[in-house]
């Protein structure tokens, strides 16, 4: 089979789904946006913006890089043996890579996957051969520059047996104008492999964001995802899923949602514990500022014996006009499962403020200490450098309340 | 160092402190005793400027300066430090980072701050707790030691300690007592220490004891004598004594 044949089979399914809304989040009229390559041709002039989402254009402490502007790949590099980083369009010239093409995410999931498939231009393809440990991260940057455009990168990450890979993806937009980002991400973790996937989003207040992510995890594999959204968006809806299909595989999904302005955010995580002795957790921290509305979802399905799943959703309202809902869902299909959840939403406790002020802090400092504490999620599995970088982002959020 | 003049304090719309006069001089440690609900905690919170404790009348002087109208922040900066009876749990806030921020707030450079923290954490055996979230999962004794450590590293001139000995076993009591004594041996310090049980009295050298009953100081005197009387007869004896004196 070649790419053309694969697409021919998928196309009718996608066309049928073009009007299918997503189950959650604001429903968008796609005709308002245009598909296309976009006029931008490089990342020049966006260095500081990219730095703010974890992209180092000098590639220090990076094993490889991929930069995409609008729907055009502008740079790809891989600096370790056993590691491939290339534009998807190039990778799909090799027929074996078609085994990963729209296999985890279905084209007819909703209108966004359908539009992404039909207008598909580019994305990144990252692959690690069996038995290779890539210690320093691969970075991928997705920059949206052209107003009114649908940016629809299709990303595929394949981690070979007993291999290890860290990916950091930074997504951001240049302009105040409207745009739509539909990132399709398919992750394939072979036996005994580990993938940590860190994603930092910093969009603009007129950008709509609809990432669609599914990770397939084989026996003994470990999928760790850390997601941080720092800036206002028009709307953001995503519910990345980890499908644990192999025995004893694990997943850890954490998200930190800073909801500002009039953002309408609906972010979740799905954990499918589909094989014996799998385990995983979904952690989320949401801070509501201004007039933002946020729904934090988490869904854990226990479908095999001896699985364990845990959900922890916490929300902090820093404005009277903001709103946070949490929707934890647990689904048990067999007897021998252990599924738990805890959820809490609140304001900063007066008592804690007063205590810290008695310790000599100003009210602002006290708030910042409490908010930083709220944002402390364990940054599991990350190399020291990357963990420190994420900590510094969280420090900045807490310091600039 | 501290002088309270006819102090009347309201908390939640209720008059809790009903006219207290009290003086504590440099180098002194005053014990404040009394049954539950007599107003001990309210008095300390009012001294440090907790906005929930409203001074209705009377005055608070600290080092010859009236501080009645000052905010808590200003009073803390002048050198008042309150160790809470029930400090809150602060999820995600490590004891070490909180302590270092307090020291940083005092203006100490990083290396010096780390030295001070090391010294106090050794003194109060806090080393293994420094990387835990403040008060999360701490035992009774650990919570008291952590609170005392944070209060002491603030380096207050007047130390206000609210029941540092409640719910604490004998070993922790000795640790806490010796840390307080060492601190007060420094120049220009003073303390008011609330004790419900009087257990701490064996481990610190108090200069005077006061009994607070229903918002008033009803008895002041030699701490040794008073503590042993109260431990033997309870605060009932103070009530009877007060009645007899009337």
ipTM above 0.85, yes or no: yes
Closest Cβ opposite residue B87 in set A355, A357, A361:
A355
Q: Is A351 on the interface with B (CB under 8 A)?
A: yes
Closest Cβ opposite residue B154 in set A360, A365, A370:
A360
Query: CA geometry: angle at A60 spanning A59 and A64, to 5°?
Result: 45
Would you mind telling me the total number of residues written for chain A in this entry? 401
| Residue from A287, A315, A344, A360 whose CB has the most chain B CBs within 10 Å, to mutate | A360
Three-state DSSP class for residue B240: helix
Contacts of A359 in chain B (CB under 8 A): 76, 98, 102, 150, 154
Q: Where are the alpha helices (DSSP H) in B21-60?
A: 40-48
Three-state DSSP class for residue B60: strand
Closest Cβ opposite residue A358 in set B48, B98, B133:
B48
Provide the pLDDT for residue B245.
72
- What is the least distance, in Å, from the CA of B229 to any CA of chain A? 34
Closest Cβ opposite residue A358 in set B76, B98, B101:
B76
Q: B113: Cβ–Cβ under 8 A, 6 or more apart, which residues?
A: B100, B103, B104
Q: In this complex, do A376 and B92 lie within 8 Å of one another by their Cβ atoms?
A: yes
Q: Is B100 on the interface with A (CB under 8 A)?
A: no
Q: In this complex, do B91 and A374 lie within 8 Å of one another by their Cβ atoms?
A: yes
Residue whose C-alpha is closest to residue A250's, from A227, A268, A225, A285: A225
Provide the pLDDT for residue B246.
65
Residues facing A173 on adjacent strands: A144
Q: A401: Cβ–Cβ under 8 A, 6 or more apart, which residues?
A: A318, A364, A367, A368, A371
- What is the least distance, in Å, from the CA of A377 to any CA of chain B? 8
Q: In this complex, do A358 and B77 lie within 8 Å of one another by their Cβ atoms?
A: no
- What is the least distance, in Å, from the CA of B2 to any CA of chain A? 18
Residue of A nearest to B152 (CA): A359
Which residues of chain B fall short of a pLDDT of 70?
246
Three-state secondary structure string covering A328-368: EEEEECCCCEEEEEEEEEECCCHHHHHHHHHCCCCHHHHHH
Provide the pLDDT for residue B233.
87
Q: Is A391 on the interface with B (CB under 8 A)?
A: no
Task: Dump pLDDT digits (tens) for B111-162.
Answer: 999 999 999 999 999 999 999 999 999 999 999 999 999 999 999 999 999 9
User: What is each CA distance from A171 to A105, A135, A145, A206, A290, in whole angstroms?
Assistant: 20, 22, 11, 15, 23
Contacts of A395 in chain B (CB under 8 A): none
Q: A 362-381 residues with CB below 8 A of B?
A: 362, 365, 369-370, 372-376
CA A155 – CA A120 distance, rounded (Å): 11
Long-range CB contacts (within 8 A, 24+) of B165-171 = B165/B195, B165/B197, B165/B199, B165/B200, B166/B85, B166/B196, B166/B197, B167/B140, B167/B141, B168/B140, B168/B141, B168/B144, B168/B199, B169/B141, B171/B141
Provide the pLDDT for residue A262.
95
Provide the pLDDT for residue B242.
74
Residue whose C-alpha is closest to residue A65's, from A3, A143, A182, A149: A143
CA A318 – CA A361 distance, rounded (Å): 19
Residue with tokens 């009337």: B246
Residue whose C-alpha is closest to residue B153's, from B199, B207, B95: B95
Q: In this complex, do A359 and B154 lie within 8 Å of one another by their Cβ atoms?
A: yes
Size of interface A-B (CB pairs under 8 A): 56
Find the helix or strand (DSSP H, E) in which B66 lies: strand B65-66
Contacts of B73 in chain A (CB under 8 A): 357, 360, 362
Within 10 Å of residue A228's Cβ, how many Cβ atoms?
A: 23
Task: Dump pLDDT digits (tens) for A371-400.
Answer: 999 999 888 899 999 999 999 999 999 998
Phi and psi (nearest 5°) for B197?
-100, -25
Residue whose C-alpha is closest to residue A70's, from A35, A44, A45: A35
Residue of A nearest to B50 (CA): A354
Closest Cβ opposite residue B88 in set A355, A365, A372:
A355
B103 within 8 A of B117, measured Cβ to Cβ: yes
CA A380 – CA A225 distance, rounded (Å): 9
Residues facing A296 on adjacent strands: A267, A326
Q: In this complex, do A349 and B84 lie within 8 Å of one another by their Cβ atoms?
A: no
Residue of A nearest to B134 (CA): A373
Provide the pLDDT for residue B141.
92
Q: What is the mean pLDDT of each run of 10 residues along chain A (401 residues)?
A: 94 96 95 86 85 91 96 95 97 96 97 96 97 97 93 97 97 88 97 97 95 98 96 96 98 96 96 97 96 97 97 95 96 94 94 95 95 92 92 92 79
Q: A128: Cβ–Cβ under 8 A, 6 or more apart, which residues?
A: A82, A83, A84, A134, A158, A159, A160, A163, A164, A165, A193
Q: B 147-166 residues with CB below 8 A of A?
A: 150, 154
Q: B2-89+157-173+184-245: what fold?
A: Rossmann fold (3.40.50)
CA A341 – CA B93 distance, rounded (Å): 23
Contacts of B150 in chain A (CB under 8 A): 359
CA A226 – CA A368 distance, rounded (Å): 22
Q: The pTM is what?
A: 0.92
Residues facing B223 on adjacent strands: none
Q: In this complex, do B88 and A369 lie within 8 Å of one another by their Cβ atoms?
A: no
With residues binned 3-state (H G I as helix, E B as strand, rest as coil), the percentages for chain A, rounded to 5, are 20, 40, 40
Residue of A nearest to B88 (CA): A352
Q: Which tokens hold the place of A209?
A: 């964001």
């Amino acid at each position: 089979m070649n790419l053309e044949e694969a697409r021919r089979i998928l196309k009718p399914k996608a066309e049928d789904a073009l009007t299918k809304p997503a189950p959650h989040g604001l429903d968008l009229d796609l005709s308002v946006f245009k598909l296309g390559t976009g006029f931008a041709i490089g990342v020049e002039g966006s260095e500081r913006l990219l730095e703010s989402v974890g992209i180092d254009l000098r590639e220090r402490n990076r094993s490889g890089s991929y930069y995409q502007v609008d729907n055009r790949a502008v740079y790809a590099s891989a600096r370790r043996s056993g590691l491939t980083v290339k534009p998807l369009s190039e990778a799909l010239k090799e027929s074996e890579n078609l085994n990963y093409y729209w296999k985890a995410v279905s084209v007819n999931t909703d209108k966004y996957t359908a539009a992404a498939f039909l207008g598909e231009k580019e994305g990144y393809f990252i692959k690690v051969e069996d038995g290779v440990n890539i210690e320093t991260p691969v970075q991928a940057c997705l920059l949206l520059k052209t107003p009114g455009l649908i940016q629809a990168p299709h990303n595929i990450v394949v981690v070979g047996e007993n291999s290890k890979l860290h990916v950091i993806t930074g997504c951001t937009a240049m302009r105040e104008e409207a745009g739509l980002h539909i990132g399709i991400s398919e992750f394939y973790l072979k036996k005994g492999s580990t993938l940590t996937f860190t994603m930092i989003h910093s969009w603009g207040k007129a950008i709509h964001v609809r990432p669609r992510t599914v990770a397939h995890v084989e026996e003994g594999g470990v999928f760790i995802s850390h997601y941080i959204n720092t800036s206002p968006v028009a709307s953001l809806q995503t519910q990345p899923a980890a499908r644990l299909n192999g025995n004893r595989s694990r997943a850890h999904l954490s998200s930190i949602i800073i909801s500002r302005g009039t953002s309408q955010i609906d972010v979740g995580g799905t954990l499918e514990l589909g094989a014996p002795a799998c385990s995983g957790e979904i952690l989320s921290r949401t801070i509501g500022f201004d007039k933002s509305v946020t729904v934090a979802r988490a869904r854990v399905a226990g479908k095999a014996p001896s699985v364990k799943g845990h959900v922890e959703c916490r929300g902090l309202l820093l404005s009277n006009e903001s709103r946070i809902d949490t929707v934890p869902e647990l689904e048990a299909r067999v007897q021998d499962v252990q599924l738990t959840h805890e959820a809490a939403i609140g304001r900063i406790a007066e008592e804690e403020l007063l205590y810290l002020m008695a310790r000599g802090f100003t009210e602002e400092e006290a708030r910042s200490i409490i908010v930083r504490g709220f944002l402390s999620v364990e940054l599991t599995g990350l190399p020291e450098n990357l963990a420190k970088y994420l900590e510094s982002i969280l420090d900045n959020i807490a310091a600039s309340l | 160092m501290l002088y309270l003049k006819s102090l009347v304090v309201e908390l939640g719309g209720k008059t809790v402190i009903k006219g207290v006069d009290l003086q504590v001089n440099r180098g002194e440690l005053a014990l404040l005793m009394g049954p539950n609900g007599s107003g001990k905690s309210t008095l300390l919170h009012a001294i440090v400027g907790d906005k929930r404790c409203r001074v209705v009348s009377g005055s608070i002087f600290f080092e010859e300066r009236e501080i009645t109208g000052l905010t808590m922040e200003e009073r803390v900066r002048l050198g008042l430090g309150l160790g809470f009876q029930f400090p809150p749990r602060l999820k995600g806030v490590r004891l070490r980072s909180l302590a270092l921020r307090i020291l940083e707030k005092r203006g100490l450079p990083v290396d010096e701050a780390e030295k001070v923290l090391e010294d106090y954490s050794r003194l109060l055996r806090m080393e293994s707790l420094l990387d835990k979230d403040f008060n999360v999962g701490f035992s009774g004794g650990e919570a008291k030691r952590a609170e005392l450590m944070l209060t002491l590293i603030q380096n207050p001139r007047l130390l206000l300690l609210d029941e540092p000995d409640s719910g604490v076993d004998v070993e922790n009591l000795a640790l806490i007592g010796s840390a307080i004594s060492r601190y007060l041996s420094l120049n220009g310090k003073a303390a008011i220490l609330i004790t419900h049980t009087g257990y701490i009295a064996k481990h610190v050298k108090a200069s005077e004891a006061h009994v607070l009953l229903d918002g008033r100081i009803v008895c002041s005197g030699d701490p040794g004598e008073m503590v042993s009387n109260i431990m033997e007869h309870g605060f009932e004896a103070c009530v009877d004594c007060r009645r007899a004196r009337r």
